[in-house]
Structure 1
Amino acid sequence: MKPLEDVRIIAVEQYGAGPFGSVHLADLGAEVIKIEEPRSGGDVGRYVPPYGEGEDSLFFETFNRNKRSLSLDLSTDAGRRVFEDLVKVSDVVYSNLRGDVPKKIRITYDDLKHLNPAIVCCSLTGFGMTGPRSKEPGYDYVLQGLAGWMDLTGEPDGPPTKSGLSLVDYSGGFVAAISLLAGLHAARRDGVGMDCDVSLYDTAIGLLTYPATWHLNAGFEPVRTSHSAHPSLVPFQAFEASDGWFIVGCAKEKFWTRLASVVGHPEWAEPGSGYGSFADRARNKDTLIPLLEDVFRQRTVDAWLGELYAASIPCGPINDVEQAMREEHTKARGLRVTTEHPRFGTVEQLASPVRVGARPAEYRRAPFRNEDFDLVVREIAGYDDATVERLRAGGAFGDAAVPPVPPVPPVPPGSAEPAESARAEAGEAEAASR
């Protein structure tokens, strides 16, 4: 069996952070049943441009492979009945909504424990379910600013800078997955479930790590460093060669001794040189770094990396995305995987970095909206035809109760159609509820 093949998760999720956390669990074999609100067209991620057509987008494919989809309107009594019946036969209710929403729509442990005492309710919200900001929507960009990340990032004389990736969202997804698994372990051991109150804000603050510890205990005031230099280890930063940029870092004294030799100045590593120790180099970095910069500009990136690799000095090129995808190590680690999609044809994307055991992960395309209707309502919930019709008449499934849409011929990914672009913009407002 796959590591999580005996786990069933009801995922009331949308967009990025929540689906990113659960996709790794799905890759590990968990049955993730994605609940999609039918009135708004389901997960807003389905409509994110520029690479999308209709209800399919490469953005959605990235975060939702290996999952199941059910259109379900939780605001109706009939939809609520279906949800509660699924809770009875599931292990986890996982959501990423605004902090006050889980209680409003009754998906916390106190709301569900009478149905399943061992249910784990993991809520990944913007700011948590308590505190003065709990009712605010949380977005990665806002949180990178609020938690101090942008103040730490960029050149000293430049503006505050966001990370090129949505790292608060993605880190929050990982934190939620860890919390969920810990809660599940405890519930199976003790027979009692719980709430897991996880937030993007907590994640972002927690990732300040040692600079925050330094500040709280020694009054450290972080400052931005030129060329992404490490705040205390010198040299450890980006350097410009004659044809591009690369990273070199001396995290141990032995690396500095080797680097001094490689750049033709072994005397720089000697005691008394002013650069012979961590403390010396930190104190005299304003004179040392310009000297190194002058040396590194004299040769190409490949020439320097060849010597640095040979000397076992930590280093590497500064790749663009294309170069990172072409790296030999990317291929060797099996990080590029494919799925087949009726609209996009063969879709290539990235494997989960979560590795458990020797069995390779298997990848299935993301589901069409409501594709798994029969599997979920008939096999898992156990409804007969008459019950399904009564629930449908009660509005449980909205207008999307017929599974699945017929496959369409493959077409090249393109910009979203104008109507879909407008729908995506409307979806942004819906996504603000998380």
Structure 2
Amino acid sequence: MKPLDGIKVLDLTRALAGPFCTLMLGDYGADVIKIEMPGSGDDTRKWGPPFIGEESAYFLSVNRNKRSLTLNLRDEKAQQVFLKLAADADVVVENFTPGVMGRFNLDYDTIKQVNPGVVYCSISGFGATGPYQSRPAYDQIMQGISGIMSITGDLGGDPQKVGIAVADIGAGMWAAFAIMTALFHRAGSDGKGQNIDLSMLDSQVAWMTYQAGYYFATGQAPQRLGAAHPTLVPYQAFMGKDGKYFNVAVGSDRLWDRFCQGIDRMDLHENPNYIDNGARVNHRSELVPLLQEFFLARDADDWVTDLQAVSVPAGPINDLADVFSDPQVIHREMLLEMTHPTLGVIKQTGLPIKFSETPGGLDKPPPLLGEHNGEILTSLGYSTSEVENMVAAGVI
């Protein structure tokens, strides 16, 4: 048994935010039916290179544990099929621009008429209300508007986006949390469903946490600090003799004591300019260059070894080749393999949540476009000839 066995999810999403949400649900047992446009499917099927065979690496990364059904939702017959599916679905997830599902006659108010217990989650850039509701949104745009790019990058340098699509992935994670919260509420309220309006902008603003707190406290917008921390020193990346970088996180004065011991610089420990974190923050401009010069005497891994030996948080800055050969990553099964119907064995990132009693798993490979049309439609009572007629009419 998996924790979400028996939960049926209709997934009308594409790109990343919605597919990441439904990936999380599918990994833990939900039956996710991915609804795609006939002939083209999810936009990310064509996002490449790189491709593995005919499939884009991007699509393969976030669409396992799903079944694919093609439906042309502009067609009334396809809308009827969807309503049949929705009648006993637990969850509908969509990430169209607000208003589009209403034009398909498949918005929340319509779906709840056939299924009052449905949890209907709409993910959009700016939400279903407000002056920006109809604006298009992609991750990079949202990283800029939300403030994330303003605090990412080197001091005095250009704003930078984070190296993965955190606005998309973050919204997908918030959506999965919201759906599970709504399902929990439904279980305790005689089966009452609800609509979820989830905005990428809201999701990113919520992530501002302590950076927002600094702004509220000072009235000054936080600035970019590269790999450094705004209120802890030293808490950043340094370069070793070999040109490799490593991170150090001195998050308390107790760790500062051990840090000085680990690098054999007790003179720094005795210096009144560095006696506590407040002093170190005030003297950041002299302490950080001093440490960087000192760290050029030895290779990065040597410093990491010495600091870890005295229980100071330190670690290498790995590239993904390092990550997926790391013994801890391998031990935690964060690199997995599964068999794809046309590609053979493909690699996937693992499942980050380890349940003791109801673990998730990789049960279905990322689907081919429309791979499960016959399987799903016949389960709804359509005959083989009716399915063939839908194909001929462009319904599926």
What does 1:351-370 align with in structure 2 at a 5 Å threshold? 351-363=350-362, 364-370=364-370
Residues 328 and 358 of structure 1: CA distance in aligned 2, closer, same or farther (over 3 Å): farther
- Aligned partner of 2:194 in structure 1 is 194
Structure-1 separation of matches of 2:157 and 2:321: 27
Structure-1 separation of matches of 2:313 and 2:388: 64
- Aligned partner of 1:248 in structure 2 is 248
- Aligned partner of 2:85 in structure 1 is 86
- Aligned partner of 2:10 in structure 1 is 10
- Aligned partner of 1:273 in structure 2 is 272
Identity across aligned pairs (percent)?
34
Aligned partner letter, 2:264: G
SS at match of 1:274: helix
| Deviation (angstroms), 1:391 | 4.9
SS at match of 1:20: helix
Query: With structure 1 as the length reference, what TM-score do the two structures score?
Result: 0.86
Structure-1 separation of matches of 2:137 and 2:389: 38
- Aligned partner of 1:346 in structure 2 is 345
- Aligned partner of 1:57 in structure 2 is 56
| Deviation (angstroms), 1:394 | 5.5
Q: Does 1:19 align with 2:29?
A: no
Structure-2 separation of matches of 1:309 and 1:54: 43
Moved more, 236-245 or 361-370: 361-370
Structure-1 separation of matches of 2:210 and 2:304: 30
Higher relative contact order (Cα pairs below 8 Å, separated by 6+ residues): 1
Residues 100 and 356 of structure 1: CA distance in aligned 2, closer, same or farther (over 3 Å): farther
User: Is 2:3–2:359's contact at 8 Å kept on the other side of the alignment?
Assistant: no
Residues 199 and 106 of structure 1: CA distance in aligned 2, closer, same or farther (over 3 Å): farther
The one-character-per-residue Cα deviations of 1:42-96 (angstroms, maximum 9, x if unpaired) are 1111111113367522221111111001011111111011000001111111111
SS at match of 1:64: coil
Aligned partner letter, 2:331: A
What does 1:398-413 align with in structure 2 at a 5 Å threshold? none
* RMSD of aligned residue pairs (Cα, Å): 1.8
Residues 240 and 119 of structure 1: CA distance in aligned 2, closer, same or farther (over 3 Å): same
| Deviation (angstroms), 1:359 | 4.8
- Aligned partner of 1:221 in structure 2 is 221
SS at match of 1:187: helix
- Aligned partner of 1:310 in structure 2 is 309
Aligned partner letter, 1:260: C
- Aligned partner of 1:400 in structure 2 is none
The one-character-per-residue Cα deviations of 1:219-250 (angstroms, maximum 9, x if unpaired) are 1321111x410001000000111011100111
Q: Does 1:101 align with 2:119?
A: no
SS at match of 2:11: strand
- Aligned partner of 2:206 in structure 1 is 206
Structure-1 separation of matches of 2:19 and 2:170: 12
| Deviation (angstroms), 1:319 | 0.9
Structure-1 separation of matches of 2:192 and 2:386: 31
| Deviation (angstroms), 1:362 | 2.6
- Aligned partner of 1:414 in structure 2 is none
Structure-2 separation of matches of 1:393 and 1:263: 73
Aligned partner letter, 2:66: K
Query: With structure 2 as the length reference, what TM-score do the two structures score?
Result: 0.94
SS at match of 1:346: strand
What does 1:160-171 align with in structure 2 at a 5 Å threshold? 160-171=159-170
What does 1:259-338 align with in structure 2 at a 5 Å threshold? 259-270=259-270, 273-338=272-337
Structure-1 separation of matches of 2:341 and 2:50: 15
- Aligned partner of 2:35 in structure 1 is 35
Structure-1 separation of matches of 2:365 and 2:383: 28
Structure-1 separation of matches of 2:290 and 2:394: 72
Structure-2 separation of matches of 1:289 and 1:366: 47
Moved more, 257-266 or 321-330: 257-266
SS at match of 2:367: coil
- The count of residues paired between Structure 1 and Structure 2 equals 393
Aligned partner letter, 1:13: T
| Deviation (angstroms), 1:193 | 1.1
The one-character-per-residue Cα deviations of 1:288-335 (angstroms, maximum 9, x if unpaired) are 112211211111112111111101000000111111111111101000
Structure-2 separation of matches of 1:333 and 1:131: 43
User: Is 2:83–2:114's contact at 8 Å kept on the other side of the alignment?
Assistant: yes
Structure-2 separation of matches of 1:219 and 1:12: 42
What does 1:108-123 align with in structure 2 at a 5 Å threshold? 108-123=107-122
Structure-2 separation of matches of 1:261 and 1:69: 58
Moved more, 146-155 or 349-358: 349-358
Aligned partner letter, 2:266: P
Residues 55 and 44 of structure 1: CA distance in aligned 2, closer, same or farther (over 3 Å): farther
Q: Does 1:185 align with 2:218?
A: no
The one-character-per-residue Cα deviations of 1:144-190 (angstroms, maximum 9, x if unpaired) are 11111111111113211111111111111101111111112222322
In structure 2, the gaps of 5 or more residues are none
